[in-house]
Amino acid sequence: MDPSNLEKQRIPEEPRYLDFPNSKPGSGLNKYSSTLTREHDFPAAQAMLYAAGVPNEHVLKNYPQVGIASVWWEGNPCNTHLLDIGKEVKRAVEKQEMLAWQYNTVGVSDGITMGGEGMRFSLQTREIIADSVETVTCAQFHDACITIPGCDKNMPGCVMGMARHNRPSLMIYGGTIQPGYSKLLKKPINITSALEAHGAYIYNRLKNPDDPSQTQDEILTDLEKEACPGSGACGGMFTANTMATMIETLGLSLPGSSSTPATSPAKMRECQKAAEAIKICMEKNIRPKDCLTKTAFENALVMMMALGGSTNGVLHTLAMAGTAGVDLTLDDFQKVSNKIPFIADMAPSGKFLMADLYDIGGIPSVQKLLIAAGMLDGSTITVTGKTLAENVESWPSLKQGQEIIRSLDNPIKPTGHLEILYGNLAPNGAVAKITGKEGMKFTGKAKVFNKEHELDDALNKGEIPRTENFVLVVRYEGPKGGPGMPEQLKASAAIMGAGLKNIALITDGRYSGASHGFIVGHISPEASVGGPIAVVQDGDLITIDAENNTISMDVEQDVIQKRLSEWKPPRMPVTRGVLAKYARLVGDASKGAMTDLF
């Protein structure tokens, strides 16, 4: 797409901010900030800008103003370094003769909150981050926006905020963590290693075959200490790396941003390139919605399926598309999954991490492969002012002999790993993560848990038997019922670590990108609004069929209707505060669990 033709192709937007009587954008790069800085219409605003650091009248009147929104906070390795990245971006933006204003949004660590009540606060931070980016950009009349996220919900939250204000914007991904290394087991590890080891610990299976004298406690302590060696997001094709990859493919971040490790010199060099790119976006008036087209989203889905991305990618991509006004549905994911091979041997189901992929060319090299194969449309516009194909044209091809990305004629699975399932258990759909290693079909007796902690307690006590096939059903954990749709990595990792191959796990909640096994989430409608999952009973036979894309309980429809007529919604677990507000506003998971669908 030629950027010079963007204005001709744009659909007129419904006025949102520019219809305010005192807002009179100009025509230069300081299009929005000139509302405050022109003449003497807002003398108090100008006085405060001088106090904030504007050096003189020439800069005030002529320099555009760029907001730099980092999701920085201490206490989470995904985010600890983002303030430093933001400072480097600020210096680079100022060299481009623009004013740069840093600010932060909130964040929640999924790894730290996993399996606890704090996880209920995680998903709603996506909305708070979007609200923050939209609020500061529009309230402060910023001309452009650079966001710097690091953890799972950070990335889609930033994109949703940028799509709402739709001013020239780009995203810098904080980057992936380096692999950890177990001193006792003498092998590379990551955050999933610690979680799955807990399942082995519970079932007394945590051993070092090379040194039987080591106790379970010693091994688990070693894994806890060594799994996360420094700054950066969780290292596999988990949710953070999935979303960063998809957003780079959407064109909203620079080539290589999603695969460049957090602590590498290249990540700091990216800050300089980002300052140059945001100026290009302002000069050519390239805005987020110019990148967020249906074709670009289809490209993002191709990358998700090829690389084995997180189920959370479905939820977040639906929300990003919905915010941008793009018609994307669950069925679009299935269409792409049906035709794109799964080629990446990356964690959680495979061996390698994003840092390993970086060493052989990174995400741009994978994009180059898929464009050459006709699976990616290289004509979409990006924040560099070039198309996706032009961005990767000079990028090195994947190294010969590498084992991370399989050839297209020798995939791990000939189709995608994500399957959209429908049936009498999920009339509005559900999302399954099935790599093929678990098989494509599973039938078992339902064992029902009304909250995640009930299943965690049962696993901790070793109460899940190995004697026959069971489908563990965790309900009342959806967007409204949780509230907050908590991830259930603790349970899925414990099942994998314990070696419970006779188990499938289904929920109206969701999973971490680090989850794997025979798992189905996002079952919709959720239990708290009277979805059929609310009336599943212990012993009901449930079949998950990824070949025919169905998930059903072997219960007659009139019996299901009778159970639903007798069902009464449970009392909401919270009635005040941010989670209660979120529960009242949030929509269905099948539409991305958005809070602004009115």
pLDDT beyond 90 at 336: yes
The per-residue pLDDT of the chain, averaged, comes to 93
209 shares a domain with 163: no
Tens of pLDDT, residue by residue over 124-176, are 999 999 999 999 999 999 999 999 999 999 999 999 999 999 999 999 999 99
Confidence of residue 6 (pLDDT cuts 50, 70, 90): low
Tens of pLDDT, residue by residue over 247-299, are 999 999 999 999 999 999 999 999 999 999 999 999 999 999 999 999 999 99
- What's the whole-number mean pLDDT along residues 539-545? 97
Indicate whether 412 belongs to any domain: no
- What's the whole-number mean pLDDT along residues 9-38? 68
DSSP secondary structure of 336-362: HHHHS-B-B-BTTTSSB-HHHHHHTTH
251 shares a domain with 185: no
273 shares a domain with 146: yes
pLDDT at 120: 95
pLDDT at 540: 98
CA–CA gap between residue 332 and residue 215 (Å, rounded): 49
- Catalytic (active site) residue 512: yes
Where would I find the H helices in 122-228? 124-139, 154-165, 191-202, 216-226
349 shares a domain with 436: no
Q: What is the CATH number of the domain that holds 578?
A: 3.50.30.80
pLDDT beyond 50 at 19: no
Task: Give CA 505 to chain center in angstroms.
Answer: 21
Tens of pLDDT, residue by residue over 572-598, are 889 999 999 999 999 999 999 999 865
Indicate whether 406 belongs to any domain: no
CA–CA gap between residue 598 and residue 581 (Å, rounded): 15
Indicate whether 596 belongs to any domain: no
Sequence-distant (6+) residues with CB within 8 A of 587 are 479, 593, 594, 595, 597
Q: Which of 226, 260, 289 represents a domain boundary (last residue)?
A: 226
Tens of pLDDT, residue by residue over 471-528, are 999 999 999 999 999 998 788 877 877 888 899 999 999 998 667 778 999 999 999 9
310 CB-contact burial (10 Å; exposed 0-12 / middle 13-18 / buried 19+): buried
Angle at 542 between CA 515 and CA 544, to 5 degrees: 50
- What's the whole-number mean pLDDT along residues 35-63? 96
Indicate whether 414 belongs to any domain: no
pLDDT at 596: 82
pLDDT at 18: 47
Full domain range(s) for residue 274: 3-177+233-392
pLDDT at 27: 62
Indicate whether 318 belongs to any domain: yes
Maximal CA-CA distance, the chain:
79
pLDDT beyond 60 at 20: no
Nearest to 564 by CA among 595, 539, 529: 529
587 shares a domain with 563: yes
* Locus of tokens 């449970």: 570
152 shares a domain with 285: yes
- What's the whole-number mean pLDDT along residues 320-349? 97
Q: Residue 439 has which token pair?
A: 């098989």
Tens of pLDDT, residue by residue over 376-433, are 999 999 999 999 999 999 999 998 889 999 999 999 999 999 999 999 999 999 999 8
568 shares a domain with 423: yes
Taking residue 477's Cβ as centre, other Cβ atoms within 10 Å add up to: 30
360 shares a domain with 435: no
Which phi and psi (to 5°) does residue 233 adopt? -80, 160
DSSP secondary structure of 105-126: -----HHHHTTSGGGGGTTHHH
Helices (H) and strands (E) in the chain, counts: 23, 14
- The structural domain count of the chain equals 3
322 shares a domain with 188: no
Confidence of residue 22 (pLDDT cuts 50, 70, 90): low
253 shares a domain with 222: no
The end-to-end CA distance of the chain, in Å, is 32
Annotated catalytic residue: which of 132, 512, 552, 590? 512
SS3 percent helix, strand, coil of the chain, rounded to 5, is 40, 15, 45
485 shares a domain with 365: no
Q: Are residues 306 and 337 in contact, defined by beta-carbon separation less than 8 angstroms?
A: no
Taking residue 581's Cβ as centre, other Cβ atoms within 10 Å add up to: 15
pLDDT beyond 90 at 434: no
Helix (H, G, I), strand (E, B) or coil at 405: strand
Indicate whether 411 belongs to any domain: no
CA–CA gap between residue 238 and residue 392 (Å, rounded): 24
Indicate whether 542 belongs to any domain: yes
32 shares a domain with 68: yes
Q: Are residues 544 and 551 in contact, defined by beta-carbon separation less than 8 angstroms?
A: yes
CA–CA gap between residue 512 and residue 153 (Å, rounded): 11
Indicate whether 400 belongs to any domain: no
pLDDT at 4: 56
pLDDT at 547: 93
